[in-house]
């Protein structure tokens, strides 16, 4: 179905193997003057068909959106690098392109090099969607490094005499220098890269990339198998993006180390509106650090906070309630289901009251899967934390020392301080 300036074959289930197969559709495309969007997802294209399409793409002078999501179903992995490379290479010099979607294509790491020429050279696009591609840490590092090269290219291409901007417009296609901070920002604004097994090994590369671009407003890295050690470098890079509005890290293992990094970065994101940390194993201790910073008032534009199934206890939720009451007047959507608290207890009551104070009594999502806190267990944890503080050791360090079975007096003293605590 085609409309003015938009050409779409989306969802037709076409199998286009050759140039001859795709030719009738290319004729339709060429018949649309100044086409701005092309959507071909939900079909399957072979390498010869992609090359024929690429020849047409090179001549589209007004193209803004290229949607190539889900176009290789049933294709052999050997033909995909050539096919996707043809399509993206055709857009290297497109100065009008704003968005490209390559999601739901089974690239794997071996296809990542085919994307490098486009990703490293086209400095005009603002939105890159690259989710569910099976990149793995190896492929994702290749992509991250290409995008870091893109930032370097943008700096080289910036016109003499920077154009000052009071705000960032996602549709703008010229690199800029912030009027307030003087920080250089490329055009890169929105990045979706979920379900790609990025893992913590690639986070250093991504941190450098985000810092190099400086203007990210929306980052979605959900379901990537990122573990705790990867978050400090990732979040440090994102802290160089002061315009960040939307951050989605759902279903990764953030834990205490990652929570500390996020807490430290929150003041760097004064425009943050959506924060998704559901299924991230924040823990009570880790989430308390985040909520304490929110309580200090650095993110009062926050409208959506997603914290489901993250092992958050009542102690932390009380701090969240205080943060909402004091500094989150715009919070209209709060998800905390699946955490550890009595749905009718003090913490939930205080959260509800705080939301109602701002006129958002319906902001709290359902609480039908909350875990009942075990009082004795909580008391043991608090006592253990108190004793650990007394000896100045964190839990991991202390356990390591005790497990070594050292016989010196200092270790004996540490063991005695543990009292009735046991080691797993």
What pLDDT, in 10s, does the model give residues 37-65? 999 999 999 999 999 999 999 999 999 99
> Which among 199, 95, 183, 226 is positioned nearest to 141, based on CA atoms?
199
Enter the tokens of residue 230: 């990867």
Tens digits of residue pLDDT in 293-308: 999 999 999 999 999 9
pLDDT at 406 over 90: no
Q: Are 145 and 118 in contact (CB under 8 A)?
A: no
Per the prediction, the chain carries an average pLDDT of 88
Average pLDDT over residues 98-113: 96
Q: Give the pLDDT of residue 374.
A: 82
pLDDT at 146 over 90: yes
Q: Are 263 and 294 in contact (CB under 8 A)?
A: no
pLDDT at 100 over 60: yes
Buried b (16+ CB within 10 A) or exposed e, 395-415: eeebeebbeeeeeeeeeeebe
Backbone phi and psi for residue 50, each to the nearest 5 degrees, phi listed first:
-65, -40
Average pLDDT over residues 304-331: 98
Higher local confidence (pLDDT), 241 or 392:
241
């Amino acid at each position: 179905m085609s409309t003015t300036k938009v050409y779409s074959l989306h969802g037709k289930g076409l199998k286009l193997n050759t140039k001859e197969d795709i030719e009738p559709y290319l004729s339709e495309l060429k018949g649309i003057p100044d086409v701005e969007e092309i959507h071909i997802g939900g079909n399957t294209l072979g390498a010869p068909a992609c090359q024929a399409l690429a020849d047409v793409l090179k001549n589209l002078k007004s193209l803004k959106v290229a949607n190539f999501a889900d176009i290789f179903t049933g294709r052999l992995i050997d033909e995909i690098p050539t096919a996707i490379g043809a399509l993206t290479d055709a857009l290297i010099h497109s100065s009008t392109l704003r968005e490209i979607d390559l999601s739901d294509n089974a690239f794997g790491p071996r296809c990542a090099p085919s994307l490098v020429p486009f990703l490293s050279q086209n400095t005009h696009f603002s939105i890159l969607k690259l989710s569910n591609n099976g990149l793995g840490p190896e492929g994702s590092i290749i992509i991250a490094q290409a995008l870091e090269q893109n930032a370097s290219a943008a700096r080289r291409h910036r016109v003499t005499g920077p154009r000052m901007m009071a705000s960032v417009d996602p549709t703008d296609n010229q690199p800029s220098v912030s009027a307030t901070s003087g920080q250089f920002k490329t055009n890169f604004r929105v990045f979706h890269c979920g379900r790609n097994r990025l893992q913590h090994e690639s986070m250093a590369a991504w941190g450098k990339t985000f810092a190099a671009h400086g203007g990210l407003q929306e980052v979605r890295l959900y379901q990537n198998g990122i573990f705790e050690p990867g978050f400090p470098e990732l979040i440090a890079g994102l802290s160089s993006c002061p315009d960040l509005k939307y951050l989605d890290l759902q279903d990764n293992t953030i834990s205490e180390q990652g929570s500390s990094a996020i807490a430290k970065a929150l003041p760097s994101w004064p425009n943050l509106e959506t924060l998704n940390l559901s299924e991230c194993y924040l823990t009570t201790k880790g989430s308390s650090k985040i909520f304490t910073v929110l309580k200090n008032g650095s993110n009062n534009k926050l409208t959506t906070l997603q914290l489901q199934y993250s092992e958050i206890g009542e102690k932390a939720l009380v701090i969240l309630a205080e943060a909402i009451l004091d500094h989150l007047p715009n919070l209209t959507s709060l998800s905390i289901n699946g955490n550890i608290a009595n749905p009718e207890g003090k913490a939930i009551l205080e959260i509800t009251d705080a939301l109602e104070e701002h006129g958002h009594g319906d902001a709290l999502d359902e609480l039908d899967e909350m875990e009942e806190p075990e009082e004795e267990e909580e008391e043991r944890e608090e006592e253990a934390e108190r004793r650990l503080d007394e000896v100045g050791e964190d839990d991991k360090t202390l356990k390591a020392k005790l497990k070594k079975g050292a016989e010196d007096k200092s270790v004996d003293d540490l063991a005695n301080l543990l009292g009735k605590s046991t080691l797993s």
